[in-house]
Structure 1
Amino acid sequence: MKIIIHDLMHQDFTSIYQEQEDSTIVISDNGEIHNCIGCFGCWIKTPGKCVLKDAYNNMGELLSKCDELIIISKCVYGSYSSFIRNVFDRSISYLLPYFEVRNNETNHQKRYNNKIKMIVHFYGNDITKNEQETAKALVTANGINFHSLVSKVYFHESLQAIKGGVQ
């Protein structure tokens, strides 16, 4: 299954993706996402599922069925937009609360056995080289922690430029 997480306006998204496969899940900002409150309920009270009641409380389960994750985000100071960041925060139930050391770094252990291929498209005017380096490092770190394969990070100056680069 493919998951596309984006922060675009509906008309901008549909101009990039005219059609998706039936197995593609699109996650966008419906204005109802709650902020992660750091309660660890998704690990302790309801393992694998966020305790907050909204349309994003099953992100861990969705990611467990995902083999390709495409993220489209405005580049904000070398990071994701606030919506994309919040979706990542709400996805922590994808992982176990236990730690392991891999390559001399402490990371969460896997809850699920799938391997996600991650592709990230950042867009924005005048993204600096420093912001690009920071964004690449962030995506790499997220990929390591989520046990994912980061296949590519793209930078686009406009939404129109994304259209040619998205599969």
Structure 2
Amino acid sequence: MNRFRGENYVIVRPSLTRDKRLNTVHSLARFSWQKGKLASSRLANMSAISTECYASDLNEMNILVDPDSGEITVVVDWTGASILPFGFALYALESALGSMGSSGWIWFDNVDDLRDTFWKAFREQTGLSNLQTRLIKLAGKAGILIRYGTAYDSGLSGMIGVRDSNTEDFTYLDALLF
């Protein structure tokens, strides 16, 4: 069986150094832009947000990373991919900036540096305006709400909600939005 190069981010995340985490968020910015761009000249001139082909289950298990560099090598599991406003998948950025433990969400010590690196790399690659960037960040918040605020339903296609419908656990929402 052929195997993609890289390891699941959730597995290598604890061992990544600061520089490797910076590489991860930098390559996540590149991935986010490359998978969602139309024609860069067209998107750069748009005053509103665009759409993207979105992996419905973009999570730490489906992002493979080179453990030696921290670079994303591939994103797997595109089953149920759909077209959504550009930025809905940015919950993956927040997931790359910390992890959920038994006592709740824990941000990495350099979370602000990591987040700033992502947005700097993203803006450099896209040339988007401040307004477009704000709209993409807003779409990212909407993606977090759908991803972690709605219950999983195997009968629905597209973006997957992961909350257990039998509980009122909103730990991820509390961590990623507030």
The question of a shared fold, defined as TM-score above 0.5 by the shorter chain, is answered with no
TM-score by length of 1: 0.29
Q: Give the structure with the higher percent helix.
A: 2
Q: Give the structure with the higher percent strand.
A: 1
TM-score by length of 2: 0.27
